[in-house]
Amino acid sequence: MRHSLLIAAIGTAILVGTFSGCTKKPPPSAYDPNWQSLPAPTITSLSPPGTGLAGVTVVTITGTNFSAAVPNNLVYFGATPGRVLTASVTTLTVRAPLVVGDTLPVTVAVLGAQAFSNYVQYGLKSAVLRFSIPKQGEDANGITTDAAGFVYVSLVDSANGGGLGTWKISPTQVNVKRDTANAHLYSVTSGVTKWTGLKMGPAGILYAARDLQAIYKIPAGGGPAGSPPWALFSPGTVKIHDFDFDANHNIWAGGTQGTGPGNAIYRLTPTTPPQIKAIPFVGTVRAVRVYNGNLYVGAKTDSVESVWQFPIVSSDSLGPPSKYFDFSAKYGPNGPGVQCITFSSDGDLYIGTDAPDGILVVHPGGASEPLYPGVVFPEPIAFAWDTGTNLIVSRVGTTIPHSILFINTLKQGAPYYGIQ
pLDDT single digits (tens) 40-72: 999 999 999 999 999 999 999 999 999 999 999
119 in any annotated domain = yes
289 in any annotated domain = yes
- pLDDT at res. 8: 38
37 in any annotated domain = no
Q: What is the DSSP string of 21-75?
A: H--PPPPPPS--TT--PBPPPEEEEEES-SEEETTT-EEEEEEES--SSGGGEEE
Per DSSP, the three-state class of 371 is: coil
Residues 304 and 414 in one domain: yes
Residues 328 and 406 in one domain: yes
- pLDDT at res. 378: 87
Residue 165 φ/ψ region, left for φ over 0, alpha for ψ in the -120 to 50 degree band, beta for the rest: left
The answer for residues whose C-beta is within 8 angstroms of residue 287's C-beta and 6 or more apart is 242, 297, 298, 307, 338, 339, 340, 341, 352
- pLDDT at res. 158: 78
11 in any annotated domain = no
273 in any annotated domain = yes
Residues 95 and 136 in one domain: no
Residues 350 and 208 in one domain: yes
Nearest to 73 by CA among 44, 105, 107, 104: 107
Residues 306 and 207 in one domain: yes
CA 378 to chain centre: 9
CB 353 within 8 A of CB 378: yes
Residues 306 and 175 in one domain: yes
Residues 210 and 295 in one domain: yes
Residues 228 and 112 in one domain: no
Residue 98: give its domain's CATH number. Answer: 2.60.40.10
Give the count of domains, the chain.
2
Among 90, 105, 125, the domain-final residue is 125
- pLDDT at res. 336: 92
For the entire predicted model, the pTM comes to: 0.85
User: In 10 A of CB 366, how many CB atoms?
Assistant: 10
Among 125, 149, 166, the domain-final residue is 125
Residues 384 and 260 in one domain: yes
* 231, burial (CB in 10 Å: exposed 0-12, middle 13-18, buried 19+): buried
- pLDDT at res. 135: 66
| Segments forming the whole domain that contains residue 388 | 128-419
Alpha-carbon dihedral sign for residues 55, 57, 58, 59: negative
**Run means of pLDDT, 10 residues per run, the chain, 420 residues:** 37 40 55 83 97 95 98 97 98 96 97 96 91 71 95 87 90 68 89 96 97 97 96 90 97 84 86 95 94 97 94 95 95 91 98 94 96 88 95 77 83 94
Alpha-carbon dihedral sign for residues 88, 93, 97, 101: positive
Among 93, 125, 157, the domain-final residue is 125
Residues 214 and 333 in one domain: yes
Per DSSP, the three-state class of 86 is: strand
- pLDDT at res. 130: 79
334 in any annotated domain = yes
Residues 136 and 226 in one domain: yes
5 in any annotated domain = no
Residues 292 and 373 in one domain: yes
Residue 381: give its domain's CATH number. Answer: 2.120.10.30
Per DSSP, the three-state class of 12 is: helix
6 in any annotated domain = no
CB 106 within 8 A of CB 43: yes
CA 255/CA 286 separation, integer angstroms: 6
